[in-house]
């Protein structure tokens, strides 16, 4: 079975991920990239760490991608999420979706990143410029 979701403990190459989704049927490709920014909630951030419950994160991530493939008229979809220590400016998460038409590609890409953010057991630990640090456990919105 093809794996659609994976965790990566090292930087990964988006061009090769994207190439896996393209073939002659594809008329539209949409992607989303999440990057480590230098601030959160008005506080300067120096770096962060992602921790996952790997077994469950991979299973739940795969379910999100399977749902996207059944819910939208798309050809293929993949998502890679980093774990471990990341510096400012590093790629944290990548979603790619291929489809015959753009509407389904955009909608499925949005669905995947939203569901991954709300469901997959990955946690962000931020280190702030003032020396403080902490885990983010956001309230559901």
Partner 1 sequence: MMALATVLYFASLRDAAGVASEPVDADGDLSGLYELLRTRHGFALPRERLRVAVDGEFARWDQPVRAGSEIAFIPPVSGG
Binding site for partner 1 (CB under 8 A): 34, 50-53, 55-57, 59-60, 81, 92-93, 113, 116-125, 134-140
Is 108:97 a contact under the CB 8 Å cutoff? yes
Q: Given the DSSP bridges, would you call strands 74-82 and 5-8 parallel, antiparallel or unpaired?
A: parallel
For residues 43 and 53, which CB has a smaller minimum distance to partner 1 in the complex?
Answer: 53
Q: Which of 33, 23, 19, 20 is nearest to 90 (CA)?
A: 33
Instruction: Output the smallest distance, CB 59 to partner 1, in A.
Output: 7
Instruction: Output the smallest distance, CB 25 to partner 1, in A.
Output: 29
For residues 50 and 72, which CB has a smaller minimum distance to partner 1 in the complex?
Answer: 50
Helices 102-119 and 54-71 cross at an angle (nearest 10°) of: 150
Give the angle subtended at the CA of 8 by the CAs of 6 and 9, to the nearest 5°.
Answer: 155
Instruction: Output the smallest distance, CB 113 to partner 1, in A.
Output: 6
For residues 10 and 24, which CB has a smaller minimum distance to partner 1 in the complex?
Answer: 10
Instruction: Output the smallest distance, CB 134 to partner 1, in A.
Output: 8
Residue with tokens 């299973």: 59
For residues 18 and 49, which CB has a smaller minimum distance to partner 1 in the complex?
Answer: 49
């Amino acid at each position: 079975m093809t794996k659609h979701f994976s965790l990566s403990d090292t930087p990964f190459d988006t061009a090769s991920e994207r190439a896996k989704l393209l073939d002659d049927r594809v008329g539209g490709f949409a992607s989303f990239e999440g990057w480590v920014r230098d601030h959160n909630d008005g506080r300067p951030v120096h770096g962060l760490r992602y921790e996952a419950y790997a077994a469950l994160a991979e299973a739940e991530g795969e379910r999100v991608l399977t749902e996207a493939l059944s819910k939208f008229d798309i050809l293929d979809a993949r998502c890679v999420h980093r774990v471990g220590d990341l510096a400012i400016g590093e790629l944290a998460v990548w979603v790619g979706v291929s489809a015959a038409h753009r509407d389904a590609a955009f909608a499925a890409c949005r669905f995947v990143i939203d569901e991954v953010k709300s469901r997959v057991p990955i946690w962000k630990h931020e280190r702030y410029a003032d020396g403080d640090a902490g885990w983010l456990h956001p309230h559901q919105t």
